Amino acid sequence: MTVGKVYLIGAGPGDIKLITVKGLECIQKADVIVYDRLANPRLLSYRRPDAELIYVGKSPDRHTLTQEEINQVLVEEGLKGKVVARLKGGDPYVFGRGGEEGEELRKAGVPFEEVPGITSAISVPAYAGIPITHRDFTASFTVVTGHEEPGKETSNVNWPRLAQDPGTLVFLMGVGNLPQIVENLVKHGKDAQTPIALIRWGTRPEQRVVTGTLSNIVEVVEKAGIKSPAIIIIGQVVTLRDTLRWFEDKPLFGKRVLVTRSREQASVLSEKLENLGAEAWEYPTIKIQEPDDLAELDAAVAHAGDYNWIIFTSVNGVKAFFKRMQVLKLDVRSLGQAKICAIGPKTAEALEERGLLVDVMPEVFRAEAVVEALKGRIQAGDKVLLPRADLARQVLVDSLQQLGADVHEVISYQTVLADETDTQLLLEKLQAGEIHVVTFTSSSTVTNFLKLIGDHRDLLQGVILACIGPVTAETAEKNGLHVDICAKQYTIDGLVNAIQGYFNK
């Protein structure tokens, strides 16, 4: 019998980009992913389509599985010969019980590796503008479990030593025990005016920070309604927060934005949103693929030099066209004297990267503007090649024909419904009010999104809908959606700017 392997992976504090490269690689190759409450569920989108998911999350008042049962799951899956990714928030060996899981795996003869993660003890304060060491204040820090009942007779916490420690104190998972933690520190000599901060859901859009002193923090936390999960930082470094805070000052901080573009294109929009402080949640609704029959496209590509004009309407169209050129062993010389028109700067950039300079790019990036820009340039009888998506609007073809052009429209790629993955997770996020903005970058992202969520469109109430331009917005409104944001410049940058402007108001 082949024995598998278990990777005990630290998922970091919450921000998806704080997972290590090795941790991500383990998720991508795993047969089974065993994950807990504090691991960002977005990490699951990197799994193989056939990977099995097992949720073993724990909260202070409810355990899905006991630790012993979790240990047994890991052993059983490993003995089945599977590669298991045990995904844990923070670092597995910093109050994560990863050591216990490793012991059980070793006992059962299942190979394992520990993949360290960025612990919340240092990263969460950093996102709140609190360095846990600073040479003007302290040269040390101590990380303490907050789960242990401070008043119990056999406590492993050395309260007298902690109270006299001049360094920063960090308590993990201690919100429920905050009154006892404060009481024990003050009782053993800690100055009641020592600064203290609590940070809930650090590094995520839900991050909340409250500060005070040991003398008043219990009342401050109660008034603010701070609950688990949160960490506690005690020491003079807390006073640096006003100077060093950065995460909460980003213009889109606190916003979780759904990106519905194809997976290949989503990262461009996601990166721009996250640079502004938002969390981008990628939920592809469309998939770009080749036409079912490539014969017509190949014939058009092979005779592209016979046309007076070639009009590219998207980056996808450029990629598809040049892919077929490569297959047919052709290069840009085969285009002869054909003039090139592109809709949008990204389309023009994609062409220039392939050695083609654009002759015409309309100032407004939609079909009607293309026709306006080509008036007087296209002559009656000119042959025009239009390689584009299967679901493109007919208005461009009709308008060009009205100019007297001989238009040959050919499907260069298909826009199809994306595979239905993570829809249940999305619905849960919408139900909980954790999706603040949904972005649509084409009409097909609108229609496919509605197909994927089915009868649950009522969950969009209160969610801000942002469209890349009026054509997409019109599709959304025809489907009964209320559009809150419509970009004036029909590009990804224009969409991001429109979202930022909406919240700046």
The answer to whether 235 and 138 have CB atoms below 8 angstroms apart is: yes
Q: Is 382 a catalytic residue?
A: no
Q: Does residue 62 register a pLDDT over 60?
A: no
Across 288-311, average pLDDT: 93
* Mean pLDDT lowest among 115-119, 122-126, 384-388: 384-388
- The position carrying tokens 């007298």 is 160
Joined tokens for residue 77: 């899956």
What pLDDT is stored for residue 89 in this prediction?
A: 92
pLDDT tens digits, 72-110: 999 999 999 999 999 999 999 999 899 999 999 999 999
Q: Is 58 a catalytic residue?
A: yes
Across 444-460, average pLDDT: 92
Q: Is 361 a catalytic residue?
A: no
Q: Does residue 483 register a pLDDT over 90?
A: yes
* Mean pLDDT lowest among 55-69, 120-134, 155-169, 275-289: 55-69
Q: Does an H or E element contain 399, and which?
A: helix 395-402
Across 256-285, average pLDDT: 89
What pLDDT is stored for residue 396 in this prediction?
A: 83
What pLDDT is stored for residue 386 in this prediction?
A: 92
SS3 content of the chain, % helix, strand, coil (to 5): 40, 20, 40
From the list 58, 80, 227, 346, the catalytic residue is: 58
Q: Does residue 140 register a pLDDT over 90?
A: yes
From the list 173, 255, 272, 339, the catalytic residue is: 173
Q: Does residue 363 register a pLDDT over 80?
A: no
What pLDDT is stored for residue 412 in this prediction?
A: 92
What pLDDT is stored for residue 433 in this prediction?
A: 93
Residues 6+ apart with CB under 8 A from 276: 250, 251, 252, 496, 500
What pLDDT is stored for residue 279 in this prediction?
A: 94
Provide the sign of the torsion angle of the four alpha carbons 96, 100, 106, 109, taken in this order: negative
- Rounded CA-CA distance 287/361 in Å is 27
Domains and CATH numbers, the chain: 5-117 (3.40.1010.10), 122-247 (3.30.950.10), 256-285+418-504 (3.40.50.10090), 290-417 (3.40.50.10090)
Residues 6+ apart with CB under 8 A from 409: 386, 388, 397
Band of residue 495 on the pLDDT scale cut at 50, 70, 90: very high
Band of residue 153 on the pLDDT scale cut at 50, 70, 90: low
Q: pTM of the entire structure?
A: 0.81
* Mean pLDDT across the chain: 91
Other CB atoms within 10 Å distance of the CB of residue 82: 18
Other CB atoms within 10 Å distance of the CB of residue 305: 13
* Mean pLDDT lowest among 122-131, 228-237, 388-397: 388-397
H-type alpha helices, 328-393 = 345-353, 367-374
What pLDDT is stored for residue 365 in this prediction?
A: 62
H-type alpha helices, 188-250 = 217-224, 241-244
Q: Does residue 149 register a pLDDT over 70?
A: no
Other CB atoms within 10 Å distance of the CB of residue 166: 10
pLDDT tens digits, 192-237: 999 999 999 999 999 999 999 999 999 999 999 999 999 999 999 9
The answer to whether 100 and 71 have CB atoms below 8 angstroms apart is: yes
Closest CA to 7 of 101, 142, 120: 101
What pLDDT is stored for residue 423 in this prediction?
A: 86
Band of residue 57 on the pLDDT scale cut at 50, 70, 90: confident
Rg (CA), the chain: 28
Joined tokens for residue 128: 């709140």
Residues 6+ apart with CB under 8 A from 410: 296, 297, 300, 385, 386, 387, 388
From the list 5, 15, 31, 36, the catalytic residue is: 36
Who has greater pLDDT, 362 or 115? 115
